Each structure stands twice: as C-alpha cells, then as structure tokens.
C-alpha cells in the first residue's frame, strides 16, 4: 500500500475530538509538509538549476496534474503574471479532465495515460520547456503520459510525488520526493501532501524568477499592477528601494507605466526613465547590474 494511502496510527479517535483539539491536530500535522520539503532541498536546487537556462532561452513552465495536484499547478501558473509580470503564455497548466476539473471532480480522467500525452503534446513542447508533473501517489497514468510525451519532445520533466520510488519520480529527468507519509484522514492528500506540493511549486517558480532578475534584494520589482492594491504596492516598493518620497516615487512610476524596476534605476541613477530602461536592457533586466552594484 502507498504510504499516502495507509491509515494513520495517530488520532484514532479524531471524530471524538473537541473542536480546538481537532483544529490543532490538522494544523500540527502540516508541519510535516515543511519537514518533507526541507529534506530534499538539494534535489529541488538541482531541478531549479537545470530549469533556469531553458527558461532563459525562452522556454515555458508547463504544469501537469490531476485533482488537487493539478489545481495547485494551475494556481502557481496564474500567479506568476501579477507577481513577476511573467507572460501567461509562458506558464501553462493542464489538468486531467480539462478546465471543468478545476471546479468539479471529473472522475476517471486521471486514469487516461494517452490523454495526458495528448494534452501535453497539444502545447507543442520543445527543448527549452520545463514540465512540472505532480501526483501525490506518483502513479497517476495521466501524469505519466505527459512525462513520457515531454521527454520525447526534449523538454525537461520534473516529477513531484509523495511516495518514495513512485513511477513519476523514476520516469522524469528530475524526481522530487516529498515523503509526507500518511494523512490524518486516511488517503486525503489534499492535506499535508498537497501543502508540500504547493511549497515546492512556490519554491521552484519563485527561485527561477529570482534568477531571471525579477527581484532586487528581496523586493518584488517586476510585478504587474492590475488593481488598486498592487498600484499602491509599486509606490511603497519604489520608496523603500530608493528613499524617495511618495510624490517623487509616484511621478516617476507614472512616467514608466508603474514599472518598479525602471523607476528604481531612474531615481538611484538620477536619469530619465528611458535611460533607466536602456541600462536595464544592457544588464539583462538586473537592477543591480543597471546600478553597477
């Protein structure tokens, strides 16, 4: 039996717990998700280092999964645009059962290996693409089909699973095992197994964006402001990075379409926004490089 499916020997009277104890049991078990991720940091780092040159060369992040794993892939993909101005077409997620499965379980879709391959091939994967294939069990046929298709097309396949020795780990170019063990509610991998997967996805995609110069220090300087909250954030970030007052920061941002990177370089180098953009272009988007630091 898969470790993620085996009944837990703890909390055998879970249904009898008072509410506070019940909530504590669920929350405390999530700590095991963090520990599982921490245990495989070297493997995660290797996958990131293999992915970065491909993404730098114009590749895409392609996410594949079923059920909770697939929905986590969708979540990570759509958040890259507002956070890092990453084009939607370069972060694409496919989910067993199609778009409908994002909101409603599509039974049996995950068992179709051939469909996983077809859905992945429909994206026309190439040698610069990076496929993030997720399956808590590590045995999901849909995901295995996508991995096979990805590798056949020369794309980099990173398999993420929660059971040691799972096929998803063996068949990918890089396997990341998140050994979260059994769940408090037997087999419910939407719990800590899902949490561990989300941590890894956040880690991989965010680290890639850092390597692509989307971050200055620890500041989000390449965000895409799409609402009032994010426009306000661009002003605060610019003020923090440059020491400028709010009026100056806002005026400079208005001149460059609220692109924090450009405003920061313009203010610190005391140049026009056009000159600042030129410096960034020469430095491949690196604020440090543009500043000569």
Determine what percent of the chain is predicted with pLDDT higher than 90.
Answer: 95
Q: Is residue 207 part of a domain?
A: yes
202/222 same-domain check: no
Q: What band does 107 get if pLDDT is binned at 50, 70 and 90?
A: confident
Is residue 9 assigned to a domain?
Answer: no
Cα atoms in the 13 Å half-sphere on the side-chain side of 124? 2
> Both 154 and 94 in a single domain?
yes
* Shared domain check, 196 and 91: yes
201 in any annotated domain: yes
Instruction: Tell whether 28 is covered by a domain.
Output: yes
Domain of 27, in residue numbers: 20-211
- pLDDT exceeds 90 at position 278: yes
Is residue 81 located within the same domain as residue 95?
yes
pLDDT at 106: 86
Specify whether 110 is catalytic.
yes
Per-residue pLDDT averaged across 82-97, rounded? 97
* Domain end residue (candidates: 176, 211, 246): 211
Q: Identify the pLDDT of residue 1.
A: 77
Answer yes or no: are the C-beta atoms of 151 and 126 closer than 8 Å.
no
Token digits of residue 106: 């599509």
For residues 179 and 263, membership in a common domain is answered with no
The domain boundary, picked from 161, 185, 211, lies at 211
241 lies in the same domain as 286: yes
What CATH number is associated with residue 138?
3.40.50.10490
Rounded-to-integer distance, Cα 145 and Cα 132, Å? 13
Which residue bears the tokens 């543009």?
A: 290
Give the CATH number of the domain where residue 268 resides: 1.10.8.1080
Assess whether 184 and 86 both reside in one domain.
Answer: yes
Residue 2 inside a domain? The answer is no
- Whether residues 207 and 70 share a domain: the answer is yes
72 HSE (CA, 13 A, CB side): 26
List the one residue out of 146, 134, 139, 211 whose CA is nearest residue 176.
Answer: 134
Which of 181, 211, 241 finishes a domain?
Answer: 211
Q: Are residues 197 and 226 in the same domain?
A: no
The pLDDT tens digits for 195-243 are: 999 999 999 999 999 999 999 999 999 999 999 999 999 999 999 999 9
Question: Per-residue pLDDT for 293 more than 90?
Answer: no
Catalytic residue among 5, 13, 20, 79: 79
What confidence score (pLDDT) does residue 56 get?
Answer: 97
Check pLDDT > 80 for residue 182. Answer: yes
Token pair belonging to 146:
């996508």
Do 169 and 71 share a structural domain?
Answer: yes
Residues 6+ apart with CB under 8 A from 252: 238, 244, 263, 266, 267, 273
- Domain shared by 140 and 190, yes or no: yes
The arithmetic mean of pLDDT across residues 5-34, rounded, is: 95
Domain assignment of residue 222, yes or no:
yes
Residue 261 lies in a domain: yes
Token look-up 């095992």 returns 177
Of 13, 49, 100, 110, the active-site residue reads 110
Look up residue 36 and give its two tokens: 């599982």
Q: Which residue shows structure tokens 């392609």?
A: 62
Number of domains in the chain: 2
79 is catalytic: yes
| Same-domain check for residues 185 and 276 | no
Q: What is the pLDDT of residues 117-161, one digit of tens each?
A: 999 999 999 999 999 999 999 999 999 999 999 999 999 999 999
In a domain, 182, yes or no: yes
């Amino acid at each position: 039996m898969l470790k993620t499916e085996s009944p837990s020997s703890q909390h055998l009277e879970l249904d009898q717990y008072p509410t506070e104890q019940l909530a504590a049991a669920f929350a405390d078990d999530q700590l095991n998700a963090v520990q599982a991720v921490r245990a495989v940091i070297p493997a995660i780092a290797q996958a990131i280092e293999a992915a970065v040159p491909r993404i730098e060369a114009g590749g895409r992040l392609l996410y594949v999964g079923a059920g909770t794993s697939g929905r986590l892939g969708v979540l990570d993909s759509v958040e890259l645009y507002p956070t890092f101005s990453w084009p939607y077409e370069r972060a694409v997620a496919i989910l067993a059962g199609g778009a409908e499965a994002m909101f409603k379980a599509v039974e049996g879709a995950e068992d179709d290996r051939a469909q996983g391959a077809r859905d992945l091939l429909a994206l026309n994967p190439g040698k610069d693409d990076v496929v993030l294939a997720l399956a808590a069990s590590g045995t999901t046929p849909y995901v295995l089909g996508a991995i096979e298709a990805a590798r056949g097309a020369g794309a980099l396949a990173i398999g993420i699973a929660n059971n040691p020795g799972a096929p998803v780990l063996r068949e990918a170019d890089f396997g990341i095992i998140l050994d979260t063990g059994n769940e408090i509610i037997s087999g419910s991998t939407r719990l800590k197994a899902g949490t561990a997967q989300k941590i890894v996805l956040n880690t991989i995609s965010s680290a890639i964006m850092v390597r692509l110069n989307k971050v200055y220090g620890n500041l989000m300087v390449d965000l895409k402001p799409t609402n009032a909250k994010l426009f306000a954030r661009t002003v605060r970030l610019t003020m923090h990075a440059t020491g400028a007052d709010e009026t100056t920061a806002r005026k400079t941002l208005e001149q460059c379409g609220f692109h924090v990177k450009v405003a920061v370089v313009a203010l610190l180098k005391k140049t026009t926004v056009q000159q600042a953009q030129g410096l960034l272009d020469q430095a491949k988007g690196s604020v440090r490089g543009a500043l000569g630091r």
